[in-house]
Structure 1
Amino acid sequence: MPKPQGFRYEDRPDGTVLITHAGRRAAVLRGSRADQFRNEVATADPQLVMARWTGNYKHGNERTARNHPRNRR
């Protein structure tokens, strides 16, 4: 499975974390959720962590899409 790309996060002075994807806001984390995100992004691959936190991760149809005739090579 290809690694998600295009996610960025901004740690703001007011304690919130803004996650964007392709320049558009994907999530805003505040309080304990922001702290938990910061700890996790420091120890794992940031792109995968941001994809999971925004809900844009493993929809369950990857195998179906890969086997579709249009996607076979």
Structure 2
Amino acid sequence: MNNNEVDKRDILDKEPFSYKLTKDKKIFIYWNGKQVLILKGKESQRFLDKIKSADVKEVQLIMAKITGNFKHGNEKDNKIK
């Protein structure tokens, strides 16, 4: 499955996720500028290994999956019909 099938609404193109690596190898993950998760130890190293060879959109998808802040397509559509 490619990224276009996963992110059908192109939300990850806007790069809502970011991260910061600290000197003590903690990783702070942010969504729209708000801190949502801290990774440390083995989790931190696994994240770094996953993103090492990933492109920007893949990194966004990895962070979305780790944080759980990713739409699965089963949410109700709030648009007036």
Please indicate, yes or no, whether the TM-score normalized by the shorter chain is above 0.5: yes
Of the two, which has the highest radius of gyration? 1
Q: How does 1:1-73 map to 2 (within 5 A)?
A: 1=8, 2-4=10-12, 5-44=15-54, 45-61=58-74, 65=77, 70=80
Long gaps (5+) in structure 2: 1-7
- Deviations along 1:3-53, one digit per CA (max 9) or x if unpaired, are 422110111101100000111001100100000001111233111111111
Q: Percent identity?
A: 31
Q: Distance in 2 between matches of 1:3 and 1:22?
A: 12
The number of equivalent residue pairs is 68
> Which structure shows the bigger proportion of residues in helix conformation?
1
- TM-score normalised per structure 1: 0.76
